[in-house]
Chains A and B, each alone.
Chain A
Amino acid sequence: MKYTEEHEWLLEEDGLIVVGITAYAAEQMGDVVFVELPEEGTEITKDDEVVVIESVKAASDILAPLDGEIVEVNSTLADNPALVNDDPTGDAWFFKMKPSDLSPMDDYMDEAAYKEFIGD
């Protein structure tokens, strides 16, 4: 698992990247009440805003971690946004993407680096 400075986790799985937010991010955000997901098949460029997450406090985004294409979204989150708080690193993944180039993955933090990043 890799981590971004925007508190996303990235899991490589069968050539695809699964994207979610960390428990730390979910905790900071508070109760999530709305999730807006991209369309499957959307071409994305690194740092595009691809997901909107609204909590009772504020709106935040998930940025595309890599260039590529959205191949699957977790539509359960539209009906059950609270899953983001209940299981952020498991069932509450947001989307799976097919990266055009995997090499930028090496630039992201590993778990130890991320823990240090959040001061854990």
Chain B
Amino acid sequence: MTDLLRTPLHALHLELGGKMVGFAGYDMPVQFPAGIMAEHTHTRQKAGLFDVSHMGQVVISGADWEALATAFETLVPMDVLGLKEGRQRYGLFTDETGGITDDLMFANRGDHLFVVVNAACKDQDIAHMKSALEPALDVAPVTDRALLALQGPAAENVLSKLAPEAAGMKFMDVKTLMLDGAECWVSRSGYTGEDGYEISVPSEHAESLARCLLDHDDVLPIGLGARDSLRLEAGLCLYGHDIDTTTLPAEASLTWAIQKARRQGGAREGGFPGAEAVLSQMQDGPARKRVGLRPEGRAPMREGVELFAEDAGGEPVGTITSGGFGPTVGGPVAMGYVPADKAEPGTVLYGELRGKRLPVTVSAMPFVAANFKR
């Protein structure tokens, strides 16, 4: 086994009693002494601090915004050109077949494009961006910064004690803020369905900033376990599970992320890898769709559970791609792929759990209402 990498907060995680696990090559806390359930609930009620430094941060620069955005649009089906300075957007990288190779956040930071990608995909994403954009542009992985997420209804109050401007930011705004004496790149966004911020902080300052945030009575450290249950309740995809190279945006129910300008008939239609497949699936409608699922009773249905149309017999019609217990919902929640004609909320399917078929109802996502500051 190769040695696990450590984030700049590794020593702090150990000091706080984090239970460490290997995740995407990093030694990360899956939970702290409070436990997953308490960490989840605390984040929904007050605020949680997450170390997401394992994710890939990349700065793309070397031209004006129009040139940067035009070049980046060859890699993603998103409207990059129309993104205003100081704003961030959710995006997808696609391959030649239209399959999703990663999901990401990208921001217009004036003189550069700031991109955050998944830890497990970052090497491949960086190579992809370099080969497509260099030498005309400069693709620079940011290796000297940690990434923290402060999430929950108390996040605004906590962060604005360090920088009052934080309160004025709206959902998906990005800004450079001085926090605890360090220049931080802050966005008002997250992966929990709650209001909150994601904070890129110089590595040498990460622990000090984390301690400063944790000093607040409302803030607890949160591990990867609660990060997963929070994002699941929020209906957000986990790359490699809910989306991958075999899923196109329309079947993944991510059509909303493809703005008009890049769609069929749009001002800059297509022009990204796999555009023909992606756009024709959007036009014709996919054969299957990612949906939210509520198993009846209390037993969680996890990734890999097969879904059937009937309570006995027949072949599976779909599979659960993420699932578990939703602490805020107070019961099991899941998402998975089902045939388009069985994707309507209210449709009852059956998940096979330990040889028994139990009813599962297709339901709208998010499972817990989002709490963003629009």
The count of residues in chain B whose C-beta lies closer than 8 Å to any C-beta of chain A is 18
Q: Is A63 an interface residue (CB 8 A)?
A: no
Q: Is B298 an interface residue (CB 8 A)?
A: yes
Stretch at the interface among B31-39, B100-108, B177-185, B273-281: B31-39
**Which of the listed residues A56, A57, A58, A81 has the most CB atoms from chain B within 10 Å of its own CB?**
A56
A-B pairs under 8 A by CB, number:
41
Q: Mark A37-65, 1 if CB is under 8 A from B, else 0.
A: 00000000000000010101111000000
Among B299, B327, B354, which residue has its beta carbon within 8 angstroms of that of A56? B327
Interface residues of B in 328-351 (CB under 8 A from A): 332
**Chain A residues with Cβ under 8 A from B37's Cβ?**
30-31, 33, 56
| CB pair B324 A56 closer than 8 Å | yes
| CB pair A54 B36 closer than 8 Å | no
| CB pair A81 B327 closer than 8 Å | no
| CB pair B225 A34 closer than 8 Å | no
**Chain B residues with Cβ under 8 A from A36's Cβ?**
299, 354
| Alpha-carbon gap, A58 to B325, bound state (A) | 10
Give the Cβ gap from B325 to chain A, nearest Cβ, in Å.
Answer: 4
**Chain B residues with Cβ under 8 A from A56's Cβ?**
36-37, 40, 225, 229, 324-325, 327
| CB pair A57 B299 closer than 8 Å | no
Give the Cβ gap from B374 to chain A, nearest Cβ, in Å.
Answer: 31
**Chain B residues with Cβ under 8 A from A54's Cβ?**
299-300, 325
**Chain A residues with Cβ under 8 A from B302's Cβ?**
58-59
**Chain B residues with Cβ under 8 A from A58's Cβ?**
302
Among A31, A33, A57, which residue has its beta carbon within 8 angstroms of that of B298? A33
Give the Cβ gap from A31 to chain B, nearest Cβ, in Å.
Answer: 4
Among B225, B298, B332, B354, which residue has its beta carbon within 8 angstroms of that of A30? B225
B302 nearest in chain A by CB position = A59
Report if A30-B299 is in contact (Cβ < 8 Å); known contacts: A56-B324, A56-B327. Answer: no
**Chain A residues with Cβ under 8 A from B229's Cβ?**
56
**Chain A residues with Cβ under 8 A from B35's Cβ?**
30-31
Interface residues of A in 1-36 (CB under 8 A from B): 30-31, 33-34, 36
| Alpha-carbon gap, A34 to B354, bound state (A) | 14
A85 nearest in chain B by CB position = B35
A61 nearest in chain B by CB position = B354
| CB pair A57 B36 closer than 8 Å | yes
Among A31, A52, A81, which residue has its beta carbon within 8 angstroms of that of B354? A52
Q: Kindly state the interface size class of chain A when it binds its partner.
A: 10 to 19
Give the Cβ gap from A17 to chain B, nearest Cβ, in Å.
Answer: 24
Give the Cβ gap from B314 to chain A, nearest Cβ, in Å.
Answer: 24
**Chain B residues with Cβ under 8 A from A33's Cβ?**
37, 298, 300, 325
| CB pair B36 A34 closer than 8 Å | no
| Alpha-carbon gap, A79 to B354, bound state (A) | 20
B40 nearest in chain A by CB position = A56
**Chain B residues with Cβ under 8 A from A81's Cβ?**
298
| CB pair B31 A30 closer than 8 Å | yes
| CB pair B325 A30 closer than 8 Å | no
Q: Mark B218-233, 1 if CB is under 8 A from A, else 0.
A: 0000000100010000
**Chain A residues with Cβ under 8 A from B325's Cβ?**
33-34, 54, 56
| Alpha-carbon gap, A31 to B35, bound state (A) | 7
Interface residues of B in 83-103 (CB under 8 A from A): none
| Alpha-carbon gap, A59 to B303, bound state (A) | 12
| Alpha-carbon gap, A56 to B225, bound state (A) | 8
| CB pair B327 A34 closer than 8 Å | no
| Alpha-carbon gap, A33 to B326, bound state (A) | 10
**Chain A residues with Cβ under 8 A from B327's Cβ?**
56
Q: 19 A-B pairs, CB-CB below 8 angstroms?
A: A30-B35, A30-B36, A30-B37, A30-B225, A31-B35, A31-B36, A33-B37, A33-B300, A34-B298, A34-B325, A52-B299, A52-B354, A54-B299, A56-B37, A56-B325, A56-B327, A57-B225, A59-B300, A78-B298
Interface residues of B (CB under 8 A from A): 30-31, 35-38, 40, 225, 229, 298-300, 302, 324-325, 327, 332, 354
Task: Rank and list the top 8 A-B pairs by shortest CB-CB distance, nearest first.
Answer: A31-B37, A33-B325, A56-B36, A34-B298, A34-B299, A54-B300, A56-B325, A31-B35
Given contact pairs A30-B36, A54-B325, a sample of 14 additional A-B residue pairs in the complex whose CB atoms are under 8 Å apart: A30-B37, A30-B225, A31-B38, A33-B298, A33-B325, A34-B325, A36-B299, A36-B354, A54-B299, A56-B37, A56-B324, A57-B36, A59-B300, A78-B298
